Amino acid sequence: MLRVRDLVSSYGKLDVLRGISLDAAEGRITCLLGPNGAGKTTTLFTIAGILSARSGSVLLNGEDLTRLPAPKVVSRGIALVPENRLVFPRMNVEENLRAGAYARRASAAEIAADIADLYRRFPRLEARRDQFAGTLSGGEQQMLAIARGLMARPRILLMDEPSVGLAPLIVDEIFRIIQELNAEGVTILLVEQNARMALTVAHKFYLIEGGEITFSGSPGELEEDEVIRRAYLGAQKE
C-alpha cells in the first residue's frame, strides 16, 4: 500500500533522513520505532508532503506522491495525527472534526454522517462537542486528534507518538482504539517510542536511528533481537 524508497530529507543543509525505505501493508499496523531525534517525525512529514523530499520516492497504491504538496497528499488519502496532538484550541470539538474533513470536499450530509459515526466510537467527544478543544484533557485531545484524522477518510493514517505524555490507563485506551480501528480495516503507520505498547498492536516493525533504518522485522524478531531488547524494551525480560 504505502511504499517509501530511499527517502532523503533535510532541514536547511543538514540531512535528517539519509535514505529511508519502508512499506506499510494494507490493513496492517506498521510501527516505526526510534530514539529522540532519530527522524521519525521527519519521516512522517516527508510522506505527508509537509517537507519535500530531497530524493527518493513515496508511493501510495502505486501512485507517486513524492512531489505533491500537502493538500494534494491529504486528498490522495494520507492523514496525519500529529505529535502533541495539535488540536485547534479555540475551536470546539465539532469544528475540529469538520476541519479534518476539509480536503475531502464532501457534502454537508456526508460530513454530518461521519461525525455521527465518530461520536458513536468516541462518546466522550460527543459529550464535549460544543466545548473548546483546548479545554479537553490530554487523553480526550488525543482522541480528538485521531477522530479528526479519520474525518479525512484516509487510506492510511499516520500517527505520531499518540501515547506521549498520557497516563498509563489512557495509553491503554488509546492503544485499544488503535487496535479497534485496525480491526475495522484502517491501515496505520504508527510512530512510537513506547516499544512495549507498540508490541501489543503492531504487525511489522522498523527501527530508525540517526536517519537510517537499522532494523526491520516482525514483532517476534524484534523481541528476539538482543540489542533492541536492551535499548528499547528494557533488559528485564529473560
Partner 1 sequence: MIDFVQNTVDGIMFGSSYALLAIGFTIVFGVLRRINLAFGASIMLGAYAGTWLHVHYQVNVLVVALTTLVCTVLAGIYVERLCFRAIRRDAALASMVSSFVIWMQLEEAAVHLLPERTYAFPSFFVAGSFELGPFLFRGEQTTMLVLAALMVGALHLLLRHTRFGLALRAVSESPRAAAYMGIDTAWVMLCAFALVSLVGGVAGFAILATDEQITPFFGLWATFKGLIAMMLGGMGSLPGAVLGGLLLGVIEAHAQWYLGNEYKDLSAYLLLFAMLVLRPGGILGQRIHGREALAFRRV
Ligand X SMILES: Nc1ncnc2c1ncn2[C@@H]1O[C@H](COP(=O)(O)OP(=O)(O)OP(=O)(O)O)[C@@H](O)[C@H]1O
Task: List residues near ligand X by CB under 6 A.
Answer: 11, 16, 34, 36-42, 83, 193
Q: How far apart are CA 10 and CA 42, in angstroms?
A: 8
Residues 95-124 that bind partner 1 (CB under 8 A): 95, 98-100, 102-103
Q: In the bound complex, what is the minimum distance in angstroms from residue 223's beta carbon to partner 1?
A: 33
Q: Which is nearer to partner 1, 76 or 229 (CB)?
A: 76
142 binds Mg ion (CB under 5 A): no
Residue 17 · residue 57 · CB < 8 Å = no
Region near Mg ion per CB under 5 A, out of 35-43, 66-74, 130-138, 209-217: 35-43
Total of residues contacting partner 1 (CB under 8 A):
27
213 has which bridge partners?
208
9: alpha, beta or left, given left = phi > 0 and alpha = psi -120 to 50?
beta
Q: Does 40 bind partner 1 (CB under 8 A)?
A: no
111 contact partners, CB below 8 Å, separation of at least 6? 98, 101, 104, 151
DSSP 81: E
CA distance 170 to 24: 26
Based on CB atoms, which residue is closest to partner 1, 102 or 215? 102
> Looking at beta carbons only, is 89 or 220 nearer to partner 1?
89
Per-residue contact flags (x/-) with partner 1 for residues 148 to 167, judged by CB under 8 A: x---x---------------
Smallest distance from Mg ion to CB 132, Å: 26
CB of 40 to Mg ion, least distance (A): 5
> How much is the CA Rg of the chain, to the nearest whole Å?
18
Compare residues 36 and 107 and give the one whose CB is closer to ligand X.
36
Q: Work out how close the CB of 93 gets to Mg ion at its nearest, in angstroms, rounded to a whole number.
A: 25
Cβ-based nearer residue to partner 1, 100 or 211: 100
CA 101, 80, 31, 83 torsion: positive or negative? Answer: negative
Residue 41 binds Mg ion (CB under 5 A): yes
Tell me which residue of 182, 195, 181, 197 sits closest to 231, measured CA to CA: 195
Enter the C-alpha cell of residue 200.
Answer: 501489543
- Residue 95: contacted member of partner 1, ligand X, Mg ion, none (CB under 5 to 8 Å, by partner type): partner 1
The 3-state DSSP class for residue 215 equals strand
Is 49:63 a contact under the CB 8 Å cutoff? no
Cβ 47 to Mg ion shortest distance, Å? 13
The length of the chain is 238
State the binding partner of 39 from partner 1, ligand X, Mg ion, none, CB within 5 to 8 A by kind. Answer: ligand X
**What residues line the site for Mg ion (CB under 5 A)?**
41, 83
